[in-house]
Amino acid sequence: MNMMVTGMAQERRPFLKMNGLGNDFLVWDARETPLRLTPDQIAKLGDRETGVGFDQMITVEKSPAGADAFMRIHNCDGSQVNACGNATRCIGRLLMEESGKDHVTIETNAGLLHAYATEDARVVTVDMGKPRLRWDQIPLAEEFADTRAIELQIGPIDDPILHTPAAVSMGNPHGIFWVSDVEAYDLSKVGPLLEHHPVFPEGANISLAHIFAPDEIRVKVWERGVGLTLACGTAACAVGVAAARDRKTGRKTTIHLPGGPIGIEWRESDDHVMMTGGTEIEYEAEADLGTLAFEKTGPGDADQDASAAADLKAGASA
């Protein structure tokens, strides 16, 4: 696949295209050769029509704190943010495959995270640390006594359910609305209104959450700086915490996102949030940092699975 964009041909750099339950990423390895792109270059690369197309761009760097790596996160609008659960699982998988270790540490601007292997090489558990629940940690604009339910005045939205979110931070802000049907609201319309509501001075990721069975929650997410995504790992953490905190569920929940399920445990012993879910390598590629043109250079998991299946079939018929 070739994509031509204006600009001077420059250095070509390899990257990986990955996703966590469909929430997709362009991943650079900048541990040996630092990489700094402008917000405009990131937005151009993130464009699904003319660029690689992704929800977030992840740059893996050397960790000043001595962790296995530092993970830098940019939304596809070019904004830099501090947390991305699905990407943390993907980078954890890469670091564990590279090192052969079953536990790696990833430094982020939201703190040091630990990733653990599971019995499935493509499923990773990440300790996302403690949720932040105080109004000034979300943050919220004014002091709200109880972040379990905030009264918002939102003119163009006349449904009272969308006036009372819960608020949780996992190092990034989340507004959570309890609904009885996640499809009953046009999130592409109300999402941006809520994301940019003045009560969230740093914006917010917006989740519609429907508890449809004991400890089972269906969630749809409008992500800050992106829009609708197939999954959001920090939203899954935030919803699991908000539900347990309000005694709507237990501390172990399954969050059902459009892209698939994420297991959450808000651990009683240390208040940490454990998140377990899948990862996928879609393909290897190379991009020209001047023109931002890119081309695929290697396989992903699906290609590996297909060739393994073909070998098995060939072997069986031999």
Ligand X SMILES: N[C@H](CCC[C@H](N)C(=O)O)C(=O)O
Q: How far apart are CA 22 and CA 236, in angstroms?
A: 14
The answer to the question of residue 225 lying near ligand X (CB under 6 A) is yes
Q: Is 72 assigned a ligand-binding role in the annotation?
A: no
Q: Residues with Cβ < 8 Å from 102, sequence gap 6 or more?
A: 96, 116, 117
The answer to the question of residue 84 lying near ligand X (CB under 6 A) is yes
Antiparallel, parallel or unpaired: β 216-223 and 252-257: parallel
Active site residue ranges: 84, 232
Q: How far apart are CA 298 and CA 282, in angstroms?
A: 9
> Between residue 43 and residue 82, which ones bind ligand X under the rule CB under 6 A?
55-56, 75, 81
Provide the token pair at 87.
Answer: 């990407």
* From candidates 19, 86, 108, 125, binder to ligand X by CB under 6 A: 86
User: Based on CB atoms, which residue is closest to ligand X, 191 or 225?
Assistant: 225
Provide the token pair at 200.
Answer: 């969230």
The answer to the question of residue 223 lying near ligand X (CB under 6 A) is yes
The answer to the question of residue 125 lying near ligand X (CB under 6 A) is no
The answer to the question of residue 276 lying near ligand X (CB under 6 A) is no
Instruction: Tell me which residue of 223, 268, 214 sits closest to 241, measured CA to CA.
Output: 268
Return contacts of 194-197, CB within 8 angstroms, 24+ apart. Answer: 194/152, 194/154, 194/157, 194/162, 194/165, 194/222, 195/222, 195/224, 197/152, 197/154
The answer to the question of residue 207 lying near ligand X (CB under 6 A) is no
Q: Least distance from C-beta 307 to ligand X, angstroms?
A: 30
Q: Is 251 assigned a ligand-binding role in the annotation?
A: no
Task: Please report, in range form, the residues annotated as the binding site for substrate.
Answer: 23, 56, 75, 85-86, 172, 205, 223-224, 233-234
Residues near ligand X (CB under 6 A): 23, 55-56, 75, 81, 84-86, 172, 205, 223-226, 232-234
